[in-house]
């Protein structure tokens, strides 16, 4: 069944080179019970590892039923280790935080078969551990742990059992029990290859091979072997399967193994999640702040109007002395501007002043705005409660008023003011609406205002015969500059302004202010998002560090998994899933915390916040990418470990 020719294996190079095997040739038939003996350093364990496909020779030939296996791919070797070979290790190599049954089930995971609890239990019963199924390895004696290792080696019904010093760490009674189990396996037709340095163990073998300095010095058959060929068909099938690229493990099993590994190291896993948790929470909270600020700003920007020009008398300079008198506008100016139909869609005059408001026993000093009929739609001031005044009321100088939210609160409290009569500078006015809430603008409360018709304000309340401001809505945003120039020419001509025109009046493009404020808000949102992303990146680096530590800490576990049939991609997938699961778990908790922080900031600090679905999806997606990105290197490092070197790792 097994034939090796001129195998050699060297560790190290140059003067430090150690020749573990030197031109070893050997054949082993089906059903044999072979004991390989020799002093420490004789090469017996190296030979066993090569026979068990855990290591590769430097040169020589190794074939099973004529199939050369020394040149097979790593995936093919993993399949043969899982299906054809069963390894019993001297150090047991049981997963510490995993139950006895789950340890025995491990080879089934990588066999492509459905994990069968009954099969694992059956093998444990066969080695006399039916009552220890749910125990952890540290709750078992040495002999019991070795029997678990044997049950694990048998669970996939391998045809070859390789045992490396299976009784080396056991007492006499446990040693006898293990030998009996091995003998019974051989009696069932299993091929046994056993490494030992004890003559008391070797005497039970049918054939004894002695080694020294990497060479076979004797090969004695104690009991003549009877040729067995009944398993050749199974071996041939397994060899053919090793060449196929069929996926051997379901994704659900990868997930199950990842969750098991995470649960078995709760503190380490929680610490890994913390970085992502705070990072995602920061992303959600910062984006909520940015979005809230943006929407708040957009609400306020609506009050500026769309494609709007503001015309005022006097200089646009904040400080300085003007040599020209400020231009005083009239309703005729508004009408002439309104008649520029090619550019202008609406125009409205405005006057302002202050006044004393009285309702019953309450009084309040506030700003009075006299505005034209179109002002409401131009400046987003049309009431949501009540109505805007009509053209007839404007023409007749009716005493109707629309109150801002602050005025309503001061005069009426929670009472609805619509339909009530108030006094403005001792003149009775009927309240017909409540203006939309606008909030603070600079140092001024934009809701502390009363809107009345322009004609009423000029001739009944404020006593003005001129207009303070003219608001002009331009039809097309692309023609604002041209319209501004035409309006300037019109005003200069009407008011006969020949010099210092820039000091006599000024025209302000409100759309520029909108763009500036909007750009500022977007920059702030981007800045907040970048800060949060940096914290998430730091959390990802923490995940990578923990995963690298995990790879180092679990080196033997990785070696064990590869020894029982795990391919490199299986190991890599498990570690990647672990990283993604930890980042996702931390991400979901972070989303909840981020939403809570946003709500707290909104209620306690009074900041405008808004959590959007897009920000949640962004944070969750970014956490997955962080897990994948920072998990790939540790996962790849784990997958590239040599199984025998990993098992020897201290």
User: Which tens digit of pLDDT belongs to each residue from 585-604?
Assistant: 887 888 888 888 888 877 87
pTM of this structure: 0.62
- Please tell me whether residue 239 adopts helix, strand or coil conformation: helix
Quick one: pLDDT at residue 320?
45
Give the pLDDT score at 358: 94
CB 100 within 8 A of CB 132: yes
Question: What is the average pLDDT score of the chain?
Answer: 83
Helices (H), 326-373: 331-338
Lowest mean pLDDT: which of 62-66, 378-382, 445-449, 574-578? 574-578
Which structure tokens are listed for 263? 């649960």
| pLDDT surpassing 60 at residue 198 | yes
Task: Name the residue with higher pLDDT: 48 or 622.
Answer: 48
pLDDT band at 502 (very low <50, low <70, confident <90, very high): low
Judged by average pLDDT, the poorest of 124-133, 140-149, 266-275 is 266-275
Question: What percent of the chain shows pLDDT beyond 70?
Answer: 88
Q: Is pLDDT larger for residue 612 or for residue 243?
A: 612
pLDDT of residue 231 exceeding 60: yes
Instruction: Read off the pLDDT band of 321 (50, 70, 90).
Output: very low
Query: Are the C-beta atoms of 43 and 21 separated by less than 8 Å?
Result: yes
For the residues 440-466, what does the mean pLDDT come to?
Answer: 86
- At residue 177, the pLDDT reads 84
Give the number of C-alpha atoms closer than 13 A to the C-alpha of residue 38, restricted to the C-beta side.
Answer: 26
Domain residue ranges in the chain = 2-84+158-248, 257-299+516-647, 328-496
Q: Indicate the pLDDT class of residue 304, thresholds 50, 70 and 90.
A: low
Provide CATH code, domain 2-84+158-248: 3.40.50.300
Residue 586 burial class via C-beta count within 10 angstroms: exposed 0-12, middle 13-18, buried 19 and up: buried
Give me the pLDDT at residue 399, please: 95
- 505-509 and 308-313 as β-strands: parallel, antiparallel, unpaired? antiparallel
How do the residues of the chain divide into helix, strand and coil, expressed in percent and rounded to 5?
50, 20, 30
Q: Is the pLDDT at 277 greater than 90, yes or no?
A: no
Q: How confident is the model at residue 299 (pLDDT cuts 50, 70, 90)?
A: low
């Amino acid at each position: 069944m097994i034939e090796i020719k001129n195998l050699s294996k060297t560790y190290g190079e140059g003067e430090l080179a150690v020749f573990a095997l030197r031109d070893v040739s050997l054949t082993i038939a089906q059903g044999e019970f072979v004991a390989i003996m020799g002093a420490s350093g004789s090469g017996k364990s190296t030979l066993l590892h090569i026979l068990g496909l855990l290591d590769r020779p430097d040169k020589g030939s190794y074939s099973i039923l004529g199939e050369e296996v020394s040149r097979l791919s790593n995936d093919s070797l993993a399949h043969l280790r899982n299906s054809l070979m069963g390894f019993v290790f001297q150090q047991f190599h049981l997963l510490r935080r995993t139950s006895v049954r789950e340890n025995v089930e491990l080879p089934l995971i990588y066999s492509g078969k459905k994990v069968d609890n009954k099969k694992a239990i059956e093998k444990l019963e066969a080695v006399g551990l039916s009552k220890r199924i749910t125990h952890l390895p540290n709750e078992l004696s040495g002999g019991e742990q070795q029997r678990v290792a044997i049950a694990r080696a048998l669970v996939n019904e391998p045809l070859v059992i390789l045992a490396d010093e299976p009784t080396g760490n056991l007492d006499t009674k446990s040693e006898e029990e293990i030998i009996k189990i091995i003998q019974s396996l051989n009696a069932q037709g299993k091929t046994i290859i056993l490494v030992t340095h004890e003559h008391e163990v070797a005497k039970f073998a049918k054939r004894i091979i002695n080694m020294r300095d990497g060479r076979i010095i004797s090969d004695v058959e104690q009991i003549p072997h009877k040729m067995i060929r009944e398993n050749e068909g199974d071996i041939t099938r397994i060899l053919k399967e090793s060449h196929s690229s069929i996926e051997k493990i379901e994704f659900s099993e990868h997930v199950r193994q990842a969750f098991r590994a995470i649960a078995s190291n709760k503190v380490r896993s929680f610490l890994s999640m913390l970085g992502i948790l705070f990072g995602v929470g920061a992303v959600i909270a910062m984006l909520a702040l940015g979005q809230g600020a943006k929407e708040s700003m957009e609400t306020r920007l609506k009050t500026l109007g769309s494609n709007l020009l503001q015309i005022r008398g006097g200089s646009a300079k904040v400080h300085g002395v003007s040599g020209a008198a400020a231009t005083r506008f009239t309703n005729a100016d508004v009408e002439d501007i309104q008649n520029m139909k090619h550019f202008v869609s609406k125009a409205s005059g405005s006057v302002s002043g202050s006044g004393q408001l009285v309702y019953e026993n309450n009084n309040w000093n506030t700003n009075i705005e006299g505005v034209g009929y179109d002002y409401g739609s131009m400046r987003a001031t049309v009431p949501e409660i009540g109505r805007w005044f009509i053209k007839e009321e404007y023409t007749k100088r009716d005493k109707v008023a629309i109150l801002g939210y602050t005025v309503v609160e001061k005069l009426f409290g929670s009472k609805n003011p619509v339909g009530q009569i108030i006094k403005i500078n001792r003149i009775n006015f009927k309240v017909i609406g409540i203006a939309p809430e606008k909030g603070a603008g600079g140092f001024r409360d934009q809701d502390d205002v009363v809107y009345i018709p322009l004609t009423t304000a000029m001739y009944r309340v404020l006593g003005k015969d001129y207009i303070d401001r003219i608001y002009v809505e331009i039809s097309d945003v692309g023609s604002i500059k041209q319209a501004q120039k035409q309006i300037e020419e019109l005003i200069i001509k009407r008011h006969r302004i020949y010099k210092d025109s820039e000091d006599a009046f000024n025209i302000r493009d409100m759309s520029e202010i909108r763009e500036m404020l909007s750009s500022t808000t977007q920059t702030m949102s981007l800045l907040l998002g970048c800060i949060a992303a940096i914290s998430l990146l730091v959390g990802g680096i923490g995940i990578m560090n923990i995963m690298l530590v995990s790879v180092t800490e679990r080196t033997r576990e990785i070696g064990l998994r590869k020894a029982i049939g795990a391919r490199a991609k299986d190991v890599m997938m498990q570690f990647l899933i672990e990283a993604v699961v930890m980042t996702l778990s931390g991400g979901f908790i972070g989303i909840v915390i981020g939403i809570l922080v946003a709500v707290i900031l909104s209620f306690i600090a009074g900041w405008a916040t808004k959590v959007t679905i897009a920000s949640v999806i962004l944070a969750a997606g970014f956490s997955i990418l962080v897990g994948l990105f920072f998990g790939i290197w540790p996962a790849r490092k784990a997958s590239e470990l040599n199984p025998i070197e990993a098992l020897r790792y201290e």
